[in-house]
Structure 1
Amino acid sequence: MEPTDLNQRNRTDDDEFHPTARRIQRLSLHLTPVPSPLDRTHPELQALTCASRAAKLNVDTKSLTVCMRGKHRDVQEKVFEFFNSRPELQTPVEISKDDHRELCMRQLLALVREAGIKPFRYVAEDPAKYFAILEAVGSVDMSLGIKMGVQYSLWGGTVLNLGTKKHKDKYYDGIDNLEYWGCFAMTELHHGSNVQGIQTVATFDPITDEFIIDTPNDGAIKWWIGNAAVHGKFASVFAKLMLPTHDTKGVSDMGVHAFIVPVRDLKTHKTLPGIEIHDCGHKIGLNGVDNGALRFCSVRIPRDNLLNRFGDVARDGKYTSSLPSINKRFAATLGELVGGRVGLAYSSVSVLKVAATIAIRYSLLRQQFGPPKQPEVSILDYQSQQHKLMPMLASTYAFHFATLHLVETYSEMKKSHDEQLVGDVHALSAGLKAYVTSYTAKSLSICREACGGHGYAAVNRFGSLRNDHDIFQTFEGDNTVLLQQVAADLLKQYKEKFRGGTLAVTWNYLRESMNTYLSQPNPVTARWESEDHLRDPKFQLDAFRYRTSRLLQSVAVRLNKHSKTLGSFGAWNRCLNHLLTLAESHIESVILAKLIENVKSCPDASSQAALKLVCDLYALDRIWNDIGTYRNVDYVAPNKAKAIHKLTEYLSFQVRNIAGELVDAFDLPDYVTRAPIAMQSEAYSQYTQYVGF
């Protein structure tokens, strides 16, 4: 009798939740095992069978590059070629903090005024092109990418997104041509993630028609402000808007608003009266960016310097806004600044591409040990090296398509201002920024270790990449805080599902999944272990979504239970690790869905086959890494878990066979990767020449 027939015979409508029937059913299935295509031979011969059952794929690297490229590759190549033609603008391996800052300023000035690439126009008009330029500039020097982001995304973006026509007319040209170097003064010494808790105040003076900007205590000093220490002439300062009242309170707090505050004289560059600026000093990385601290003492600015898109103050001191509450104005203000998270997620993938390229090319080049009396073998032939680098390579591809989708969605949102897209981009950018930057940070250390002693040489770049990228996990929203935002949005959508509401695009799968995936797992499906089944995109996506749905339902129950005794804040803190796992699981589901979509839509057959291999490795490696979760709920039987593990190792071997082609498809010239051990030819020659041989 086939297991399926036995399953049908044993099950009744009530059996699904009957423990005794369930145990008998599972025992019957153990007595009638489903054959596995991976158990064809003796254990010691399985690896050989695995390796021989599929030939190496033939990958057309040019076609795969076309599948990977965004539509703005031309402007990226223009950036690469410009800096390659200007050796004096290239960042040396050893450089002091002060020299690095001046070099970064000269690099950005040259890009804008000599190469004619003006990123500011694309911040609002074509965000996808802006992010493409940002990615290329960050590949030249990460400090340069961040400095450009401070000038155009943060300082310039605040003027564009939170200001009105009068502000754009007055400041646009100066920001665009770098006459008006600017800062983004949001973070304070005592307040980073909790922006609504900032303490800087802007009090309206109706007699002089001015705002008075004050730092009321040392905790309110603006801290880590990029461009402030040396180059900034203006700052977009976030402060609580205080209006005088005629009651006993004296002033009324209207919530956080943004103000344009000149900080240095445009001609002499001297610090203006009432403003104190100090240098935050040498950092772990990104020392080409001049971070500073700002304190304000009764600094007066015109009323027109309030960026008044979401709230305005009239000459008589009357406040008006299209939004009814402080919370809604605050949400709208921060919502307009979400582009920074989009850019960081996208740029983090670029860093991962560079690191993976260096580590994999070196691992193909480096030979170490081998069979007795035979030539040494490439270290990428070792299973341990494949285990380190091949899932990482697959993840890099997955993240590439996911962040490309994020950029496209963000661009569409900026054009349409569709409310549903606004919510979708907010949650997706928070989740992808947190997940991708955390993964990249860990991967940079793995890449360094995978390259042994040569990975420790500064010229081979892992140190600078790791140090410069590390802060990506913190600025534009601390990753732990951002994942909580994703979890909170998931719980909100979970409630909406039961109210029959409309789900945002990112969460659509929850409508189908919450009923399907939360029923008892099918014991037959739990045992299927054929390669065709495990490599079926439906199985992979179902497994990811099942886990997310299960985590969502269980944390909702836990929060409800603990809130009765601990209150909402206490319950959230009690379930915090559960909530973070939920958010990561959801983001992994979104990433896999986008990867599957791009595999299906790839027009070139050889490229599609390579992407399918990458997709399968990404999916099964993630499932194996969390196999305990699937085993605990009987979603995966022991024999299936074993098959997943074996197939993951086999797929790593298969991806290793085309690893060179896969990194070549990133289309990063040697003068962009720059590490001698990653050169496509004569790598050791380049390396030895660097040290003087």
Structure 2
Amino acid sequence: MEQNSSNPTAEDETKMVVIRRMERLSLHLNPPVERPLSGRQVEMAGCAKAARLEVDREQLSLYMRGKHREEQEKVYEYFNARPELQTPVEILKADHRELCWRQMLGLVREAGIRPFRYVSEDPARYFAIAEAVGSVDMSLGIKMGVQYSLWGGSVINLGTKKHRDKYFDGIDNLEYPGCFAMTELHHGSNVQGLQTLATFDPVTDEFIINTPNDGAIKWWIGNAAVHGKFATVFARLMLPTHDAKGISDMGVHAFIVPIRDLKTHQTLPGIEIHDCGHKVGLNGVDNGALRFSNVRIPRDNLLNRFGDVSRDGKYTSGLPTINKRFAATLGELVGGRVGLAYSSVGVLKIAGTIAIRYSLLRQQFGPPKQPEVSILDYQSQQHKLMPMLASTYAFDFATLHLVEKYSEMKKTHDEQLVGDVHALSAGLKSYVTSYTAKSLSVCREACGGHGYAAVNRFGSLRNDHDIFQTFEGDNTVLLQQVAADLLKQYKEKFEGGTLAVTWNYLRESMNAYLSQPNPVTARWEGEDHLRDPKFQLDAFRYRTSRLLQSVAIRLRKHSRTLGSFGAWNRCLNHLLTLAESHIESVILAKFIDAVNNCPDPSSRAALKLVCDLYALDRIWNDIGTYRNVDYVAPNKAKAIHKLTEYLCFQVRNIAGELVNAFDLPDHVTRAPIAKQSEAYAHYTQYVGF
């Protein structure tokens, strides 16, 4: 990593720390006459006199769910009217797979919901439908995603007009159920390392698809084990040459390969299909393994948007290198990450709704000779669930922003926007799915023994969602992509280049970092100051900037002795922390924008409260970092802790309205303990009373 000569060295940093400590000591010895507080001191006694916010649930819900609310309602109403299509608590793998297929057929052919038409033309509408479908059954949501976003999306995004004309209607109406065959037994995240071969035969004008060794068997391929008739197979395109090598590797390309007969559904010659078996979750999705042995397909089955082969075996592409073609291919497939981030928030909404409604209902202990109190009145329960509720709102606005950026990218194909969406989707998918996975266990524990009952859904939600951390790129790998992009932007900043849209804040915040924290503002502890969006965002961005500055210095130092790969591995945990810090900054910025843009005053006040909790809870959770660099003085740290607890209490007072604003009807949440009326009666009836 190149280091600009204007940047401070490690020695300069040490000197600046000493200077700051001397300034701080001077302030202690000679305090200013007027302390620059911008609000009253935070005391828990304020809880008692705080006015409870009045929330217009309908207005808040309208703002949250936006213009695609009707499509989601249509999904909910269809399945509510068809109880035979609702997934039971206990179901065998084979039965679940057939039910999922019937659910998807009913959705498309009976309810008239055609998600494929929106994949390219209106992605926001597609993702809204996907969230609603996943709420009904996560297996159904994933199976639909395989059919339309992955198999269908690869055909229309990586292919050309001839592919769209031939396959669109069949994919849309489910006559052509298909698979997305990228992952191999030995290669998942490293797509450039795939080993499956597609060798062009100029004599017959065909590609020959081969699995060269067991490590190249396509693995975990959704729709392959039972229902799929086609597969988009990612393979290395091999062309015969007249030189000493005899063959030329053009890199990974995508090919349409029929795997079953359209009429008989029999497996086609040269193709071997096996069932991947029972999984931890999502057993309604039929994952299979595929092996190819000299399978011949027409030359036209190459999805040729970014590279083509002529009849005489000549390769042409508008992109000059394998790396550029590979990047363009993956860029068109980024919609999968967008969808997973968006859908993960939907899962978090369901889990949070169940846990919070039950926590409001359940009463346990209380003052002597007085009625028992709701378990959500306990500070410990608030600490578990209220920051999680705040995060759910934060993630909702951030992923909506991502969907908007993705939709704009699909319309404009702007190169800078493509890079921006790639990094943002990688970061949000990784951060949101990891947080949701942890929160599902928290929700289960918060509901005690009743959370352990399968009918109350935490087990199935947790198991079905768990793979979201691996789908579409392992989360650790995706965070490294974000860190790498940040370092690239860091270099651009100091070389005078143009920063991508998402990283624009770095220019200002890096300058603030280089000038060091203000020893006076580090002591400000008034509530108005701590709840000021500028303070919150500055704190998030300062942390990111400092992490970026320090990891750049470390990488430069270690690369001299360990090389670039060794240096990266030596700094890997630092890089992951940097990526998460950046994503948290983006999430907060989008939440602040959502608060400011909310037209309804009562909803805006509620969102401001929730946004403050999200921001201050994150700062408190990483208070050691802020203390270590003297960004926050001890008195200010204490005030942040107190205010976080105070905000948890305030959010608890409107928690019911906040989860109701997600507008999830009882037949969608389905957990008896989350029913909005007579919850215990529904629960006891389930076991036979």
Higher RCO by CA contacts (8 Å cutoff, separation 6 or greater): 2
Which residue, out of 178, 193, 199, partners 1:197? 193
**Contact 1:138-1:145 within 8 A present in 2 as well:** yes
Counting only pairs closer than 5 Å after superposition, residues 566-581 of structure 1 correspond to structure 2 as: 566-581=562-577
**Contact 1:461-1:675 within 8 A present in 2 as well:** yes
The amino acid that maps onto 1:26 is R
**Contact 2:194-2:216 within 8 A present in 1 as well:** yes
The amino acid that maps onto 1:509 is Y
The amino acid that maps onto 1:582 is L
* Equivalent-residue separation in structure 2 for 1:490 and 1:22 (angstroms): 28
Point out the more displaced range, 16-25 or 192-201. 16-25
* Equivalent-residue separation in structure 2 for 1:412 and 1:322 (angstroms): 23
1:456 aligns with 2:452: yes
**Contact 1:16-1:22 within 8 A present in 2 as well:** no
Which residue, out of 27, 51, 55, partners 1:55? 51
1:437 aligns with 2:433: yes
Superposition deviation, residue 53 in structure 1: 3.5
Which residue, out of 298, 321, 324, partners 2:320? 324
Point out the more displaced range, 501-510 or 31-40. 31-40
**Contact 1:183-1:226 within 8 A present in 2 as well:** yes
Which residue, out of 171, 181, 188, partners 2:184? 188
Other-structure match for 2:282: 286
Superposition deviation, residue 52 in structure 1: 1.8
Other-structure match for 2:76: 80
For 1:93, what is the secondary structure of its paired residue? coil
Other-structure match for 1:612: 608
Other-structure match for 1:26: 24
Counting only pairs closer than 5 Å after superposition, residues 51-130 of structure 1 correspond to structure 2 as: 51-130=47-126
Superposition deviation, residue 38 in structure 1: 9.8
Superposition deviation, residue 20 in structure 1: 6.2
For 2:488, what is the secondary structure of its paired residue? helix
**Contact 2:337-2:425 within 8 A present in 1 as well:** yes
**Contact 1:80-1:140 within 8 A present in 2 as well:** yes
**Contact 1:430-1:486 within 8 A present in 2 as well:** yes
Superposition deviation, residue 70 in structure 1: 2.2
1:264-287 deviation per Cα after TM superposition (whole angstroms, max 9, x unaligned): 000110000000000000000000
Q: How many residues align?
A: 675
**Contact 1:15-1:21 within 8 A present in 2 as well:** no
1:670-693 deviation per Cα after TM superposition (whole angstroms, max 9, x unaligned): 111010000111000110011100
* Equivalent-residue separation in structure 1 for 2:532 and 2:148 (angstroms): 44
For 2:120, what is the secondary structure of its paired residue? helix
For 2:306, what is the secondary structure of its paired residue? coil
Counting only pairs closer than 5 Å after superposition, residues 517-666 of structure 1 correspond to structure 2 as: 517-666=513-662
For 1:384, what is the secondary structure of its paired residue? helix
Other-structure match for 1:244: 240
1:136 aligns with 2:132: yes
* Equivalent-residue separation in structure 2 for 1:363 and 1:58 (angstroms): 20
**Contact 2:40-2:528 within 8 A present in 1 as well:** no
Percent of counterpart pairs with the same letter?
86
Superposition deviation, residue 512 in structure 1: 1.1
Q: Structure 1 282/416 Cα, relative in aligned 2: closer, same or farther at 3 Å?
A: same
Counting only pairs closer than 5 Å after superposition, residues 213-362 of structure 1 correspond to structure 2 as: 213-362=209-358
Which residue, out of 361, 371, 385, partners 1:389? 385
Q: TM-score, normalised by structure 1?
A: 0.96
For 2:66, what is the secondary structure of its paired residue? coil
For 1:680, what is the secondary structure of its paired residue? coil
Q: Structure 1 455/16 Cα, relative in aligned 2: closer, same or farther at 3 Å?
A: closer
Q: Which runs of 5+ in 1 are unaligned?
A: 1-13
* Equivalent-residue separation in structure 2 for 1:542 and 1:149 (angstroms): 38
Q: Structure 1 224/369 Cα, relative in aligned 2: closer, same or farther at 3 Å?
A: same
1:620-658 deviation per Cα after TM superposition (whole angstroms, max 9, x unaligned): 000000000000000000000000000000000000000
Other-structure match for 2:6: none
Deviating above 6 A after TM superposition, structure 1's stretches of 4 or more consecutive aligned residues are 35-41
1:177-225 deviation per Cα after TM superposition (whole angstroms, max 9, x unaligned): 0000000000000000000000000000001110000000000000000
1:177 aligns with 2:173: yes
Superposition deviation, residue 18 in structure 1: 6.0
**Contact 2:41-2:527 within 8 A present in 1 as well:** no
Other-structure match for 2:5: none
* Equivalent-residue separation in structure 1 for 2:202 and 2:271 (angstroms): 22
1:209 aligns with 2:173: no
Other-structure match for 1:502: 498
The amino acid that maps onto 1:29 is L
Point out the more displaced range, 583-592 or 16-25. 16-25
The amino acid that maps onto 2:283 is N
1:360-380 deviation per Cα after TM superposition (whole angstroms, max 9, x unaligned): 000000000000010000000
Q: Which runs of 5+ in 2 are unaligned?
A: 1-11
Superposition deviation, residue 154 in structure 1: 0.3
For 1:521, what is the secondary structure of its paired residue? coil
* Equivalent-residue separation in structure 2 for 1:622 and 1:480 (angstroms): 20
For 1:224, what is the secondary structure of its paired residue? strand
